[in-house]
Chains A and B, each alone.
Chain A
Amino acid sequence: MTTAADHIDPAVRAEALASLLIERGLVDQATMDNFIKTYEQSVGPMNGAKVVARAWTDPEYADRLLADGTAAIAELGFKGPQGEHIVVLRNTPEVHHVVVCTLCSCYPWPVLGLPPSWYKDPSYRSRIVREPRAVLAEFGLELGDDVAIKVVDSSSEVRYMVLPVRPAGTEGLSESELAALVTRDAMVGVAEVAAP
């Protein structure tokens, strides 16, 4: 076990590793900065929200998305690491999907970005596969007894994204207005999309 004497502050450990690797020419600062900037600015749940809004407004796109998530998502320009094989799970009033990675923190980066803290926590990873209804209720999502729950554990290179139910009263909204309603949490399946 690590003792207090061995403890290195993570910021210092990061700096130590970075400086050693940069000296060896294995890492360069510009590439590091570029990775950070990409996941801070360009890749995030706003991408997945566009996919969902397109599927809500274009039934043929929705069919393609459910048949081959990777290809349909690439149509909107989203691909890259952790998106080699994306499967989209359609939620309905009868069936609610919720996604987890019990072994690590696998997550569909191209459409959702990097996972939030709660997704990586031991509490979520241990409990959602054992008592999903209780966990969803803790998050504030109370599902009726008539709704079947399907929990999906991401244990291979397949990455999962939930296509949430389109809320009632949104018939007049444009695709971009719809995208603005879609949340990260709804695309993991721990929330529903609320009507505006």
Chain B
Amino acid sequence: MGGRQGFGHVRPLTAEPPFAEPWEGKAFALGLLSIRAAGANLHAFRHALERVPPGDYLGDYYDRWLHASQLMLADSGILSAEQVTARAARLSGSDVPEPEPPEPHKPDMPSGGPGNLRTLDTPPAFAVGDRVRTADLHTSGHTKLPGYVRRRTGTVTAVRQAEVFPDTAATFQGENPQHCYAVEFDSRELWGADAEQFRLSIDLFEPYLEKVT
């Protein structure tokens, strides 16, 4: 979303309950439990969120969660979209037949332990103060290198703990842990000479970066 235009003013800061309606709480809980049921892979859930069709993506936040849960469960062969559609129709009073559940094919990915923090034997390639340039990455899968910081030069300001690499983990291709760095950019490097003056910090994985000498 970073830098996209046309979304208008921000919503005012008001007090609001965590869930505006009961179904939102249910969607939240179903999201967490679907992640658990489909391989305990948070990256796969984020990847599913990104694959929700744009019209639905930009609608209700927790409806997006429901769509993503359904996608992730379908990917694992736990439930099919047709089953959900049929059940929804039945709940709404239509006497449609319910299809058979799909053949489960839950992906299996070896886990290096709970959570996403990992320890690597190899030393980090970059150090605080290094100038780095971000890759020109165009993936059709999942990545944590947002479009607005691609092909930009910044400075490493912290070496974070290594983490599971979302780009491979999201599709169950392996944890493939990577070093992670806080990288700071000048706003004019991101948005041109007339940009508001500020600095932007973002955490980036080692494969996204190359050293500028």
- With A26-B37, A84-B116, A122-B4 as contacts: A151 and B198 at CB distance below 8 Å: yes
Interface size on A, residues (CB 8 A): 72
Inter-chain contact A32/B8, CB cutoff 8 Å = no
Contacts of B67 in A (CB 8 A): 13
Residue of A nearest to B52 (CB): A2
A36 in complex: contacting residue of B25, B58, B101, B182, CB < 8 Å: B25
Q: Is the CB of B160 within 8 A of A151?
A: no
Partner of A158, one of B11, B23, B87, B160: B160
Q: Does A153 interact with chain B (Cβ within 8 Å)?
A: yes
Q: Interface of B with A (CB < 8 Å)?
A: 1-5, 7-13, 16-19, 21-23, 25-30, 32-34, 37, 46, 49-50, 53-56, 58, 60-63, 66-67, 69-70, 73, 78-79, 83-85, 87-88, 91-92, 101, 115-117, 144-146, 148-149, 160-161, 163-164, 180, 182, 184, 190-191, 195-205
Which of B17, B60, B202 neighbours the largest number of chain A CB atoms within 10 Å of its CB?
Answer: B202
Q: Which residues of A contact B (CB under 8 A)?
A: 1-2, 6, 8-21, 24, 26-27, 31-33, 35-36, 39-40, 44, 81, 84-85, 102-105, 113-114, 116-118, 120-127, 129-135, 138-140, 148-158, 185, 190-191
Output the least CB separation between B144 and chain A (Å): 5
Instruction: Looking at the assembled complex, report how far the CB atom of B45 sits from the nearest CB atom of chain A, in whole angstroms.
Output: 9
User: CA–CA, A33 to B199, complex, Å?
Assistant: 42
A13 to chain B: closest CB distance in Å? 5
Inter-chain CA distance A183–B89, complex, in Å, is 43
Contact B196 A16 (CB under 8 A): no
Residues of A within 8 A of B184 (CB): 150
Contact B33 A1 (CB under 8 A): no
- Per DSSP, are chain B's interface residues mostly helix, strand or loop, or mixed? mixed
A85:B160 contact, CB within 8 angstroms: yes
Q: Report how far A11 CA is from B83 CA in the complex, Å.
A: 16
Asked whether, in the complex, the Cβ of B61 is within 8 Å of the Cβ of A39, the reply is: no
Q: Which of A31, A123, A125 contacts B9 (CB 8 A)?
A: A123
Contact A130 B28 (CB under 8 A): no
Number of A-B contacts (CB under 8 A): 232
- Residues of chain A within 8 A of B87, CB atoms compared: 16, 19-20
- Please tell me which one of the listed residues A27, A140, A154 contacts residue B203 in the complex, with CB atoms under 8 A apart: A154
CB distance from A190 to the nearest CB of B (A): 7
Interchain CB contact (< 8 A) of B34 among A21, A116, A123: A21
Which of B25, B144, B182, B199 has a CB less than 8 Å from the CB of A40? B25
How many Å from the CB of B175 to the closest CB on chain A?
12
Q: Within 8 Å CB of B148, what residues of A?
A: 102, 129-130
